[in-house]
Structure 1
Amino acid sequence: MLQKYSLNLANRICKNSKISAFSVILRQFESTFVAPERPTLKSRTDASKRASVEGREDPEIFSPEYVPRQVLPEWHRNNLKYRLERMDCLRRRQNIDIPEFYPGSIVRVTVADQYAQEKVSKFAGRVLYRDGFGMDCHFCLRNILDGEAVEIIYQLYSPIIQKIEVLRLEKWIDTDLRYLRDASDSSICTIDLDMIPEAILPPSEKLPVFEKKIKMRPWKRWNWKYHRSWPQPQNAYLNEHFVEEELIMNEKYIDLHSWRKFDICRHHDFIQEKKDIMEEMKVNKLRIRGRRKRGNTR
């Protein structure tokens, strides 16, 4: 009876109006409850937007391969070539994520291989060095598999590289770790190919430097005279293999070659150049984004 009465009442109300009877009935049961706003939680992306520490800048804005080798006199520098190379590097970084890593870090690289079963091959190892400018940047991975040392050199911007994973982010004092080939402990470069990646500190925190020293084999079995190289390795025990007379001879040899300490080309101060490169790469990044938006609208 109540339903019939409500329908008749609704029909009477709606005779001279355009409102339907069903809508009038629904308005009788409308609730005045207003749902409260949900609290917004800070996501990981918010943490990544914080200002990065000096030396851990965004790789797209600054990376070691963006700095060209010093050329003297300065008018012999090909600045146009350097700008084009950096722009090509940034374009490549839009297609693949090239993370932050240093000599000493443990990295796994996935490469397209037509001779592999799944057309893909993976290799993990410790980074011995990273060298080169622009698209010519390359790095070397070393791993010991079944008692045999294996080293592979990858071109950082090679199109066959599909993925680069940082399994452990480490930063050593030395930037050239080729002396690990003559280390007495082979476990330093023995890396599991299926190693699980470790958590990486956010770029807003300073990365601790690896200051431990590595024991070396007897110096007569070394592949290179590391004790006479410049600069001297800081992460390796070198002097413990020599007697006092040999240490004196090594110091005399270093003194004879002390001119390297005053070689301007070996002490390339690129502090101001780094700031200019970062400003240049920020503009390049905006250019690439603008071209992408134009392409999508078309």
Structure 2
Amino acid sequence: MFRPAAREVVKIPTRFFSCKSEPTRAAPAKKSTRKELAGLIPAFPEIYPDFLQSPVWNRRNALKEELERQDMLERRMNIDIPEFYVGSIVAVTSSDRNLGSKEHRFVGICIRREKEGLLHQFTLRNTIENIGVEVMYDMYNPTIKKIETLKLEKRLDSDLTYLVDALPEYSTFDFHMEPQAHPAGTPIPVNEVKVKLKNPPWTRRWEILSYRGIEDTWTQATPWFKRKLHKTLVNDYEKYDLIANYRTGSTKEQEVFVQEQMQKFEKERHAAGLTRRRILKSAASHK
């Protein structure tokens, strides 16, 4: 009778089939590679809001921002754009072919700065013969010949649109106003004046907006509006939004990168002898 040959059984230690997984070692933490820029301007977002990224994340395009920055830097080499904030007194001289002198100079308080890149705009307001006049300028419009900062200061708010409903005395400035020098290296002064609004109705519901530069508006509001809407701010929910600044602001790394690019562009133009004008500068930090 045929019998199969006996097979040799090899015993394999059970440790090779152990189901126990060894604890994975955590990857070594990478050191931060962010460069510290020499001469970094802390108030860069306030001085150069036109160089910031778009607050809408899905509209950011690295190539578009790079090309626009090159055009903006070239424009700043041809015209001196001084440092100014919302609340500063600014004079703008622009060319106008319809005038006899071919130039137009407007003086007013900067009430708003908006948009990024080549589309950056700022609005000046002044009261002329008891009529409020607002002029919106494109920062990089080639028809602008000169921009002067007559009085460098800030206000309590980053938007002074409410001056349209304020008394005329808060937005009346002399067209022949002399420039006031700001000592280099000193902080930018903050004008803490609180404007008084006219009697309602207003263009907007200022009493439910969180503006610090307006005198008590709730007492001036009409009883009908008080009954309709209690004293609740419109943007009260923002204090619960923990990543609001992360979603709408620019990162520190991006600001450092832009400043490095501005310094490099400035050094190249100076080395070539094309101009001696400085682009990256701050009155407070004496840069």
TM-score (ref. length: structure 2): 0.71
Deviation, structure 1 residue 69: 1.5
The answer for the alignment partner of 1:233 in structure 2 is 211
2:175 counterpart of 1:201: no
Identical residues among aligned pairs (%): 31
Deviation, structure 1 residue 260: 7.5
Q: 1:215 to 1:126 in 2, by over 3 A?
A: same
Is the contact made by 1:127 and 1:139 (CA closer than 8 Å) also made in structure 2?
yes
Deviation, structure 1 residue 126: 0.8
Is the contact made by 2:111 and 2:125 (CA closer than 8 Å) also made in structure 1?
yes
Is the contact made by 2:154 and 2:190 (CA closer than 8 Å) also made in structure 1?
yes
Is the contact made by 2:132 and 2:168 (CA closer than 8 Å) also made in structure 1?
no
Q: 1:189 to 1:259 in 2, by over 3 A?
A: closer
Is the contact made by 2:52 and 2:250 (CA closer than 8 Å) also made in structure 1?
no
Please give the alpha-carbon distance, in whole angstroms, between the structure 1 residues aligned to 2:231 and 2:117. Answer: 37
The secondary structure found in structure 1 opposite 2:234 is helix
Please give the alpha-carbon distance, in whole angstroms, between the structure 2 residues aligned to 1:247 and 1:284. Answer: 58
Q: Which moved more, 1:264-273 or 1:97-106?
A: 264-273
Deviation, structure 1 residue 78: 0.9
Q: How does 1:18-37 map to 2 (within 5 A)?
A: none
2:198 to 203, 210, 217: 217
The answer for the alignment partner of 1:186 in structure 2 is 168
Is the contact made by 1:53 and 1:206 (CA closer than 8 Å) also made in structure 2?
no
Please give the alpha-carbon distance, in whole angstroms, between the structure 2 residues aligned to 1:273 and 1:250. Answer: 42
The answer for the alignment partner of 1:270 in structure 2 is 251
Q: Specify the structure having the higher radius of gyration (Cα).
A: 1
The answer for the alignment partner of 1:109 in structure 2 is 92
Q: How does 1:129-168 map to 2 (within 5 A)?
A: 129-168=112-151
Is the contact made by 1:109 and 1:124 (CA closer than 8 Å) also made in structure 2?
yes
Q: 1:114 to 1:128 in 2, by over 3 A?
A: same
The secondary structure found in structure 1 opposite 2:69 is helix
Please give the alpha-carbon distance, in whole angstroms, between the structure 1 residues aligned to 2:233 and 2:180. Answer: 43
2:57 alignment partner AA: L
Q: How does 1:29-178 map to 2 (within 5 A)?
A: 54-55=42-43, 63-72=48-57, 77-178=60-161
Is the contact made by 1:239 and 1:247 (CA closer than 8 Å) also made in structure 2?
no
- What is the alpha-carbon root mean square deviation over aligned residues? 2.9
Q: Which has the higher helix share?
A: 1
Is the contact made by 2:238 and 2:244 (CA closer than 8 Å) also made in structure 1?
no
Q: Deviations over 1:190-215 (max 9, x none)?
A: 1111111111232x221121222111
Q: How many equivalent pairs are there?
A: 232
Is the contact made by 1:105 and 1:170 (CA closer than 8 Å) also made in structure 2?
yes
TM-score (ref. length: structure 1): 0.69
The secondary structure found in structure 1 opposite 2:147 is strand
The answer for the alignment partner of 2:11 in structure 1 is none
Gaps of 5+ in 1: 1-50, 294-298
The secondary structure found in structure 1 opposite 2:57 is coil
Deviation, structure 1 residue 267: 4.6
